């Protein structure tokens, strides 16, 4: 392994041809070395124990010990960043992938298309870049800790206005945090909830179904032009910015990506601040990068409230950490605490 190959990966996939393709795609990147290949789950676990790689890539349909069991054991015995490849974007496949995330995997991606497919090069590049980014995450027995947590912000007086909208931003590790938050909110929540969750294209309908099964609120993909209803969770669809207009309707736009994202949490939070002012609440959950930072500042400038998931329970403390470090978070805590604060704010007269 050359010195610049800082990322060491274990690749686990049953069929030899697809496993070799994955290994070749990763090896083509000069910063990634394939430390080991496994044709079944038991071998993937053994290689992870002995080689201590930077990251593990698991196909969901591993022979023998399945990817879910392998993920669970790795996170219990040798915590290592894990990325899972799903067989498709149907509801069952997405639900299985999200179960892997609940057990500790950092991300679920689709399998690579055939080498001759038009989208192969883009998909291969995305896979390599994702693995390189997630290999830098420090995982500790299903909890991910920041190297150093920023100081807690000084408290400020709560606004008098009742929360009339809740806008949530999430990325890597977000689905589990989002589920934990939503399932703790009251059935009669007197405000709509809008969500930007960065996720692989095609997986969001399955995410909405998965979340809907876990909460007393209605969870759905937002439909452009529909009026926002209380006790309803609207998830931004693939490839469009989700905003709120002056008539309190969900609207989509195809304007340019912001920070590489469409939908962008910054766009959602900024529109919530413009329409609802001091009655807007922004929530920043686990995720890589800083999407949501600009939007959180807009919410604070409008007199609204900003909440952030804490370092100890965030899969990746990038997005919430940026908001905390900027002094924009009124509340920093677990999803349990955030749910309590949201419920109290929404009930205010």
Q: How far apart are CA 319 and CA 146, in angstroms?
A: 12
Q: How far apart are CA 306 and CA 173, in angstroms?
A: 19
Q: How far apart are CA 105 and CA 137, in angstroms?
A: 11
Could you tell me how far CA 113 lies from the centroid of its own chain?
Answer: 23
Judge whether 197 and 236 are in contact, CB under 8 Å: yes
**Who's near 31: CB < 8 A, 6+ residues apart?**
4, 5, 6, 7, 132
Tell me which residue has tokens 């090069």: 121
Instruction: Please tell me which residue in 266, 291, 310, 330 is annotated as part of the active site.
Output: 291
Instruction: Please tell me which residue in 171, 264, 271, 279 is annotated as part of the active site.
Output: 171
Phi then psi dihedrals of residue 170, to 5 deg:
-155, 155
Which has the closest alpha carbon to 110: 140, 134, 90? 90
Q: How far apart are CA 15 and CA 115, in angstroms?
A: 15
Instruction: Please tell me which residue in 29, 54, 59, 198 is annotated as part of the active site.
Output: 198
Taking the CB of residue 227, how many other CB atoms lie within 10 A of it? 9
Judge whether 87 and 111 are in contact, CB under 8 Å: yes
Greatest alpha-carbon pair distance for the chain in Å reads: 63
Could you tell me how far CA 120 lies from the centroid of its own chain?
Answer: 24
Tell me which residue has tokens 């896979």: 127
291: annotated active-site residue: yes
- Concatenating the DSSP letter of every residue in 164-221 gives -EEEEEE-TTHHHHHHHHHTTS-TT-SS-EEEEE---TT-HHHHHHHHHTT-SSEEEE
Judge whether 167 and 272 are in contact, CB under 8 Å: yes
Which tokens hold the place of 67?
């990817």
Q: Which residues pair with 41 in a beta bridge?
A: none
Q: How far apart are CA 154 and CA 281, in angstroms?
A: 18
Q: Which residues are catalytic?
A: 171, 198, 291
């Amino acid at each position: 392994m050359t010195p610049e190959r800082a990322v060491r990966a274990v690749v686990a996939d049953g069929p030899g041809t697809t496993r070799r393709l994955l290994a070749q795609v990763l090896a083509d990147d000069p910063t990634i070395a394939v430390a080991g290949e496994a044709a079944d789950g038991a071998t993937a676990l053994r290689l992870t124990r002995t080689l201590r790689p930077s990251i593990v890539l698991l196909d969901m349909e591993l022979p023998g010990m399945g990817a879910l069991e392998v993920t669970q054991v790795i996170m219990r015995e040798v915590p290592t960043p894990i990325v899972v490849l799903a067989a498709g974007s149907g509801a069952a496949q997405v639900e299985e992938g999200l179960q892997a995330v609940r057990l500790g995997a950092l991300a679920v991606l689709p399998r690579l298309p055939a080498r001759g497919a038009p989208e192969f090069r883009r998909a291969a590049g995305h896979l390599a870049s994702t693995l390189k980014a997630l290999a830098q995450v420090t995982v500790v027995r299903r909890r991910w800790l920041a190297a150093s947590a920023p100081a807690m912000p000084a408290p400020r007086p709560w606004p008098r206005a009742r929360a009339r909208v809740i806008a949530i931003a999430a990325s890597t590790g977000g689905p589990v945090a989002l589920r934990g938050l939503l399932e703790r909110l009251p059935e009669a929540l007197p405000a709509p909830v809008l969500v930007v969750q960065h996720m692989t294209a095609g997986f969001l309908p399955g995410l909405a179904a998965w979340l809907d099964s876990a909460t007393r609120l209605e969870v759905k993909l937002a439909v452009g032009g529909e009026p926002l209803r209380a006790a309803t969770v609207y998830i931004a669809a693939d490839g469009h910015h989700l905003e709120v207009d002056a008539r309190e309707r969900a609207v989509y736009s195809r304007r340019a990506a912001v920070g590489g994202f469409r939908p962008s949490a910054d766009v959602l939070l900024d529109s919530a601040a413009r329409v609802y002012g001091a009655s807007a609440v922004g929530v920043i959950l686990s995720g890589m990068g800083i999407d949501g930072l600009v939007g959180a500042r807009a919410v604070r400038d409008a007199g609204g409230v900003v909440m952030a998931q804490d370092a100890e329970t965030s899969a990746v403390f990038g997005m919430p950490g940026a908001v905390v470090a900027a002094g924009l978070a009124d509340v920093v805590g677990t999803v349990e605490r955030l749910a309590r604060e949201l419920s109290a704010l929404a009930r205010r007269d």
